[in-house]
Amino acid sequence: MTQITDSIKELTILQPDDWHIHLRDDDALATTVKHAAASFNRVICMPNLAPPVKNVDDARAYRERILQHLQASDLEAGRKAAFDPRMTLYLTNQTTPKDIELAAQSGIVQAVKLYPAGATTNSADGVTDINACVDVFEAMEKYNLPLLLHGEVTHDHVDIFDREKRFLEEVLAQIIAKFPTLRIVMEHITTSDAADFVLAQGNQVAATITPQHLMFNRNHLLLSGIKPHFYCLPILKRKQHQEVLLNVATSGSPKFFLGTDSAPHATDKKEAACGCAGCYSSSIALPLYATAFDSIGKIDKLEGFASRFGAQFYGLPVNENTVTLTNNPMQVPAGYPYFDGQTLTPLMAGETLPWSIKA
Which residue range forms the structural domain that includes residue 312?
3-357
Residues 6+ apart with CB under 8 A from 295: 215, 246
Tell me: is residue 65 an annotated ligand-binding position.
no
| CA 305 – CA 333 distance, rounded (Å) | 26
The structure's pTM equals 0.94
Give the pLDDT score at 80.
45
Residues 6+ apart with CB under 8 A from 248: 195, 199, 209, 255, 256
Tell me: is residue 23 an annotated ligand-binding position.
yes
| CA 35 – CA 354 distance, rounded (Å) | 20
Query: CB-hemisphere CA count at 13 Å for 207?
Result: 29
Please name which of 98, 189, 191 lies closest in space to residue 145, comparing C-alpha atoms. Answer: 98
Give the pLDDT score at 173.
96
Strand order in the sheet with 147-149: 18-21, 42-45, 84-90, 109-114, 147-149, 184-186, 205-209, 256-258
Tell me: is residue 347 an annotated ligand-binding position.
no
Give the pLDDT score at 118.
62
Give the pLDDT score at 128.
77
Tell me: is residue 150 an annotated ligand-binding position.
yes
Of 17, 125, 261, 294, which is the active-site residue? 261
Tell me: is residue 35 an annotated ligand-binding position.
no
3-class SS of residue 343: strand
Give the pLDDT score at 130.
83
Give the pLDDT score at 124.
66
Tell me: is residue 22 an annotated ligand-binding position.
yes
Greatest extent of the chain over all pairs of C-alpha atoms, in Å = 57
pLDDT tens over the chain, length 359 residues: 665 554 689 999 999 999 999 999 999 999 999 999 999 999 999 999 999 999 999 999 999 999 999 865 455 444 444 799 999 999 998 999 999 999 999 999 999 999 887 656 655 666 778 888 999 999 999 999 999 999 999 889 999 999 999 999 999 999 999 999 999 999 999 999 999 999 999 999 999 999 999 999 999 999 999 999 999 999 999 999 999 999 999 999 999 999 999 999 999 999 999 999 999 999 999 999 999 999 999 999 999 999 999 999 999 999 999 999 999 999 999 999 999 999 999 999 999 999 999 98
Please name which of 168, 171, 177 lies closest in space to residue 197, comparing C-alpha atoms. Answer: 168
CB 258 within 8 A of CB 214: no
Tell me: is residue 99 an annotated ligand-binding position.
no
Tell me: is residue 265 an annotated ligand-binding position.
yes
Strand-pairing partners, residue 343, are 337
DSSP one-letter string for 60-79: HHHHHHHHTTS-HHHHHTT-
Provide the total of helices (H) and of strands (E) in the chain, helices listed first.
15, 16
Give the pLDDT score at 349.
98
CB 259 within 8 A of CB 313: no
Beta strand pairing call for 356-357 and 84-90: unpaired
Give the pLDDT score at 82.
76
- How many beta carbons lie within 10 A of that of residue 220, not counting itself? 15
261 is catalytic: yes
Tell me: is residue 166 an annotated ligand-binding position.
no
| CA 236 – CA 225 distance, rounded (Å) | 15
CATH assignment at residue 76? 3.20.20.140
Tell me: is residue 144 an annotated ligand-binding position.
no
Give the pLDDT score at 5.
52
Query: CB-hemisphere CA count at 13 Å for 128?
Result: 4
Number of domains in the chain: 1
